[in-house]
Amino acid sequence: MTLPMVVPASGLPTRVRIHEVGARDGLQNEKSTVPTDIKAEFIDRLADAGLRTIEATSFVHPKWVPQLAGAEELVAGLERRPGVRYPVLVPNERGLDRALQHGITEIAIFGSATESFAKRNLNRTVAESIEMFAPVVARAGEAGLDVRAYVSMCFGDPWEGEVAIDQVVDVGARLLELGCSQLSLGDTIGVATAGHVTALLAAFTARGVSVDRLAVHFHDTYGQALANTLAALRAGITTVDASAGGLGGCPYAKNATGNLATEDLVWLLDGLGIETGVDLESLVATSRWMAEQLGRPSPSRVVQALSS
């Protein structure tokens, strides 16, 4: 199997934790619902490939995201391996109740930096959504659960256009103040560029938010995800969200194409000599298998190149 030549670069972390979102964020945008047993096998294969944080599903009502129906059955049947984290997304206290009933130890909440997306995704204003999340985070903390926060539309919004950096920092800081351990900054429609990424991360640092509490979540709509990732690594980021095979998008934002492909990310990191613990050959095989289940080719450039 072809692998990149390893040429380290200065000023980069020695290890990066990949937060794999393919089983949740990836599959939630599929036109058809993937059977639960296929989802479970997908997660197992991702773990076999060396991924150690695999976001399994969301306890959202299937009325809103039917592709994630059967979440309870999925988590109940997972072979939870030592050293592998299986967080789930919860939209509200009802979702938290479901997570607690199934022994989940890590959850995520999903906020918005803009009013337009908050109203479309959560049917609330930004302030109302943070108010809704407050008891979720508090109760989760009391139960010993770790809570991650996503904030979407950090770099642009299809309804509002450009999003002010200070606006993103304000919302992100408020989510962290609730008690979340990490904040993932989402480029939901893929419009970010490297300089914008650098400026946003610097603004968080200036606000007193340590870079080790931040993660990045890029979409590749305009082909900028890897360039943006490299800019984030140079700024000190060590957690990067990615989706196996480049699966995903956002059901509430039609301009949101696929996530950064995990294989493309691993190729970059392997070439830089940055440790991930991920076996690229096994990961590519997993994404090829998943593409067969979905009946279409994987959009990942690395999967395509290594499958030709």
Active site residues: 250
Name the residue with tokens 């659960």.
145
d(CA 149, CA 133): 10
∠ CA 101-103-107, nearest 5°, is 95
Instruction: Please name which of 233, 221, 167 lies closest in space to residue 189, comparing C-alpha atoms.
Output: 221
- Name the burial class of residue 208, with classes exposed (0-12), middle (13-18) and buried (19+) by CB atoms within 10 angstroms of its CB: exposed
What are the C-alpha distances in Å from 62 to residues 66, 91, 214? 4, 12, 30
What is the C-alpha end-to-end distance of the chain, expressed in Å? 11
What are the C-alpha distances in Å from 247 to residues 22, 106, 278? 6, 22, 18
Please state whether 291 falls in left (phi above 0), alpha (psi between -120 and 50) or beta. Answer: alpha
d(CA 260, CA 2): 21
Strand blocks (E) in the chain: 17-20, 57-58, 88-89, 106-112, 146-152, 182-187, 214-218, 239-242
Sheet containing strand 214-218, strands side by side: 17-20, 239-242, 214-218, 182-187, 146-152, 106-112, 88-89, 57-58
Are 182 and 213 in contact, with CB atoms under 8 Å apart?
A: yes
